[in-house]
């Protein structure tokens, strides 16, 4: 029977990447000492990859993984002790195995010389197994296994689910794995085979009964069925009397029942492990293409817009009064509640734990510390904090830049730390948590901190600031995010090329987030990233300028207030400032900045919306505020073109299009306009 397995390839690749992540994570934990359960987890992941690749015919992967599996088997049965060299070799093997799996995805060819080199290194390590330890009893043997390693007789009853073939599994591969354990005899049970006219080629109607003569443990036999676990009924029993094996089971047909053979004298070993039922697995999770989820979320957004329109119609009817209008409003209120609940649950489908991004850093820190001769304790916290999949995919590279920067510039070598009275081992912490509807990620180290004098000197040399400017410590610290800025004395493969931190800021800004740094010289630094939980929905404040309505992101607003003339101050050569609590903040007239000629110019007749951008406060002057509303973000660049100071657009309840303002972009546009053309600002202040 021929089958097109291409539809299962994506699932196989995804499971391979999950297995590789589990292997890498487990190997990194072995540095601290041997953990048998951890080794078993690594072994099972390698075994699944080997079995799956063999089923698809990817022999180069299955053969390479088989050598890794053999070495891991020696680790788990006590024939070999875990040491740093073995861990390094296995980590390098995971890297090349990932490259081989990537090659299947993008149809590229892995480095064959590197593959051969690592395979030879694995085989050489296997040849150097100490003789004394190879005779030890395997750690995974069951308690009833004889210490002499004599062959035992096992009886196996294997009934797969009907979807066995459709899911890309081949029983032949299972029997080949069992044959590696010892002498195998297999009989096929055809009793459930339907008449030819009713036969469905892709459905499995067969069952198998087998006897295996092998010194293997029950757990080792179960490993052969690991990639069909949950898709079969499996019973493994040990036959007490090897000299009297059960008679051969004749193949039965649907029309001819087989004679019943006498039951052998058998005693089940430590309760056979029946595989989980197919129904329980199917009810726990399913794999869905992300395109389908995105389509549902887009439709959900359209439903939100429609609900807003209906709500507006209901409000208009309510002004006319009447019992029907009241009933309509009650129905619309219920619709709004249901829509909000449906929307929140739909968005949860796209949410993933940030551990997906954090998991790469134990390996990265380990490798870089080896290159730089540093000792660093990496601490991860809040790994289960959830964030939108799109945000998660785009935050990976900025986080890598920041971690590398902390290791290269922040944390000192053991000798320098000891001379400064610090522990030789530095501390690097990555944490994530939800705060006020955002996700906040912090990258902290206890290193040298920022050298503000050096930063300021370099910034003046590069013309980023004037030597006459008086800058706050926070402003000096954030100069490191300027394009092309670097204080490295020499270029290395880690940093010093003048790219990185500005890319971090730009990428985070593209996600609607902000990044800032806090530092204490000699004590360490903390980089704080604030990101929205999702890029699809925004809680906004509706603000009017003339007849036009704009959306201000609610998360950026500190407060709104009526302007008091006595708190205004005009600065020569600058612009209007307003005293807000204990500081003066710039007043940004949105009507002039956005080119809207309809807005009021009288500060006393409008409102000042105080916002925060990259740790700095500013006041946005608008005519009036209308209310708060959750809006669906539509890409302006996709549907029209990108505009400075605007992050997107949305459709209001009355059908009008409203622009969603980008607060950091507005502040930057304001300062840029003021620098290039100060005269209008002075005129506005007069």
Q: Among residues 38, 69, 412, 576, which one is catalytic? A: 69
Q: Are 530 and 434 in contact (CB under 8 A)?
A: no
Least confident piece of the model among 281-290, 371-380, 570-579: 281-290
Q: Which long-range contacts (CB under 8 A, 24 or more apart) does 618-621 make?
A: 618/585, 618/586, 618/588, 618/667, 618/670, 619/578, 619/580, 619/585, 619/586, 619/587, 619/588, 620/543, 620/552, 620/588, 620/590, 620/666, 621/563, 621/587, 621/588, 621/589, 621/590, 621/591
pLDDT band at 378 (very low <50, low <70, confident <90, very high): very high
Residue 676 among the catalytic residues: no
Question: Quick check: 51 pLDDT over 60?
Answer: yes
CATH code assigned to 537-685: 2.40.50.180
CATH code assigned to 152-279: 3.30.70
Residue 566 among the catalytic residues: no
pLDDT band at 614 (very low <50, low <70, confident <90, very high): low
CATH code assigned to 353-532: 3.30.565.10
389-405 vs 501-510: helix axis angle to the nearest 10? 160
What lies within 8 Å, CB to CB, of 468 at 6+ separation is: none
The first and second tokens of residue 70, run together, are 């053999």
What string of DSSP letters covers 53-110? HHHHT-HHHHHHHHHHHHHHHHHHTTSS---HHHHHHHHHHHHHHHHHHHHHHHT---
pLDDT band at 331 (very low <50, low <70, confident <90, very high): confident
CA atoms within 13 A on the CB side of 45: 23
Instruction: Report the predicted TM-score, pTM, of the whole model to 2 decimal places.
Output: 0.58
CA atoms within 13 A on the CB side of 588: 27
Residue 157 among the catalytic residues: no
The predicted model gives 359-386 an average pLDDT of: 89
The predicted model gives 5-10 an average pLDDT of: 64
CA atoms within 13 A on the CB side of 399: 29
Q: What is the pLDDT of residues 58-88, one digit of tens each?
A: 888 888 988 888 888 888 777 788 888 888 8
pLDDT band at 428 (very low <50, low <70, confident <90, very high): very high
Residue-level pLDDT at 497 = 39
What are the start-end ranges of the H helices in 551-662?
590-593, 636-639
Question: Quick check: 683 pLDDT over 50?
Answer: no
Question: Quick check: 203 pLDDT over 70?
Answer: yes
- How distant, in Å, are the alpha carbons of 69, 214, 395 from that of 110? 20, 37, 27
Question: Quick check: 225 pLDDT over 90?
Answer: no
Q: Among residues 40, 209, 405, 591, which one is catalytic? A: 405
Residue-level pLDDT at 171 = 82
Q: What is the pLDDT of residues 590-613, one digit of tens each?
A: 988 888 878 888 888 899 999 987
pLDDT band at 258 (very low <50, low <70, confident <90, very high): very low
Average pLDDT across the chain, whole number: 77
Q: Where are the beta strands (DSSP E) in 92-182?
A: 152-160
Rg of the Cα trace of the chain?
A: 33
CA–CA gap between residue 444 and residue 280 (Å, rounded):
43
Residue-level pLDDT at 133 = 37
The predicted model gives 496-502 an average pLDDT of: 56
CA–CA gap between residue 258 and residue 361 (Å, rounded):
60
The predicted model gives 186-197 an average pLDDT of: 85
Domain 6-134 belongs to what architecture?
Up-down Bundle (1.20)
Residue-level pLDDT at 429 = 94
Residue-level pLDDT at 279 = 36
What string of DSSP letters covers 243-269? TSPPPPPPP--SSSPPPPPPPP-EE--
Q: Among residues 24, 38, 40, 47, which one is catalytic? A: 47
């Amino acid at each position: 029977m021929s089958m097109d397995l291409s539809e299962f390839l994506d699932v196989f690749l995804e499971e391979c990447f999950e297995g590789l992540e589990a292997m890498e994570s487990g190997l990194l934990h072995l540095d601290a000492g041997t953990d048998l359960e951890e080794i078993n987890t690594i072994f099972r992941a390698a075994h699944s990859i080997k079995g799956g690749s063999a089923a698809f015919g990817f022999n180069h992967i299955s053969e390479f993984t088989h050598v890794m599996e053999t070495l891991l088997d020696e680790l788990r049965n006590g024939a070999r002790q875990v040491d740093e060299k073995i861990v390094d070799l296995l980590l390098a093997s995971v890297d090349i195995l990932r490259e081989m799996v990537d090659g299947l995805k993008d149809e590229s060819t892995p480095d064959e010389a590197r593959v051969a080199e690592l395979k030879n290194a694995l085989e050489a390590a296997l040849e150097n197994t100490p003789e004394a330890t190879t005779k030890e009893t395997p750690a995974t043997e069951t308690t009833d296994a004889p210490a002499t390693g004599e062959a035992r007789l096992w009886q196996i009853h294997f009934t797969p689910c009907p979807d066995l073939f459709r899911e890309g599994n081949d029983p032949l591969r299972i029997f080949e794995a069992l044959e590696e354990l010892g002498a195998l005899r297999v009989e096929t049970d055809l009793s459930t085979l339907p008449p030819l006219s009713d036969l469905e080629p892709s459905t499995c109607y067969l069952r198998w009964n087998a006897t295996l003569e092998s010194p293997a443990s029950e757990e080792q036999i179960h490993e052969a069925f690991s990639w069909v676990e949950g898709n079969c009924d499996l019973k493994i029993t040990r036959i007490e009397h090897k000299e009297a094996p059960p008679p051969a089971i004749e193949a039965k047909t649907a029309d001819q029942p087989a004679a019943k053979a006498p039951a052998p004298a058998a005693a089940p070993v430590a309760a056979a492990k029946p595989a989980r039922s197919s129904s329980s697995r199917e009810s726990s999770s399913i794999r869905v293409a992300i395109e389908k989820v995105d389509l549902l979320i887009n439709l959900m957004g359209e439903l939100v817009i429609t609900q807003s329109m209906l709500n507006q119609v209901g409000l208009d009817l309510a002004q006319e009064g009447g019992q029907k209008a009241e009933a309509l409003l009650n129905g619309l209120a219920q619709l709004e509640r249901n829509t909000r609940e449906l929307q929140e649950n739909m968005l949860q489908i796209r949410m993933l734990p940030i551990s997906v991004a954090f998991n790469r850093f134990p390996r990265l820190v380990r490798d870089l510390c080896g290159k730089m001769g540093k000792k660093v304790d990496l601490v991860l916290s809040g790994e289960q904090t959830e964030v939108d999949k799109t945000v998660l995919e785009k935050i990976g590279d900025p986080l890598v830049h920041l971690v590398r920067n902390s290791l290269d510039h922040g944390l000192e070598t053991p000798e320098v730390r000891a001379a400064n009275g610090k522990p030789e081992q530095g501390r690097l912490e990555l944490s994530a948590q939800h705060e006020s509807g955002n996700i906040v990620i912090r990258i902290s180290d206890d290193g040298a901190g920022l050298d503000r004098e050096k930063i300021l000197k370099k910034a003046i040399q590069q013309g980023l600031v004037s030597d006459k400017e008086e800058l706050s410590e926070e402003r000096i610290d954030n100069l490191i995010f300027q394009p092309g800025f670097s204080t490295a004395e020499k270029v290395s493969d880690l940093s010093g090329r003048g790219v990185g931190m500005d890319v971090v800021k730009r990428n985070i800004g593209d996600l609607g987030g902000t990044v800032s740094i806090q530092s204490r010289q000699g004590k360490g630094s903390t980089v704080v990233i604030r990101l929205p939980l999702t890029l699809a929905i925004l809680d906004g404040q509706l603000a009017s300028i003339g007849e036009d309505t704009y959306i201000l992101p609610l998360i950026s607003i500190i407060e709104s207030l009526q302007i008091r003339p006595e708190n205004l101050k005009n600065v020569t050569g600058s612009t209007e400032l307003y005293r807000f609590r204990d500081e003066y903040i710039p007043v940004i007239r949105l009507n002039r900045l956005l080119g809207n000629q309809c807005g009021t110019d009288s500060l006393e007749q409008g409102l000042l919306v105080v916002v925060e951008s990259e740790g700095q406060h500013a006041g946005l002057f608008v005519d009036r505020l209308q209310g708060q509303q959750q809006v669906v973000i539509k890409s302006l660049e996709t549907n029209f073109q990108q505009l400075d100071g605007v992050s997107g657009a949305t459709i209001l309840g009355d059908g009008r299009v409203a622009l969603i303002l980008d607060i950091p972009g507005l502040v930057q546009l304001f300062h840029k306009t003021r620098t290039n053309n100060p005269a209008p600002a002075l005129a506005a202040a007069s």
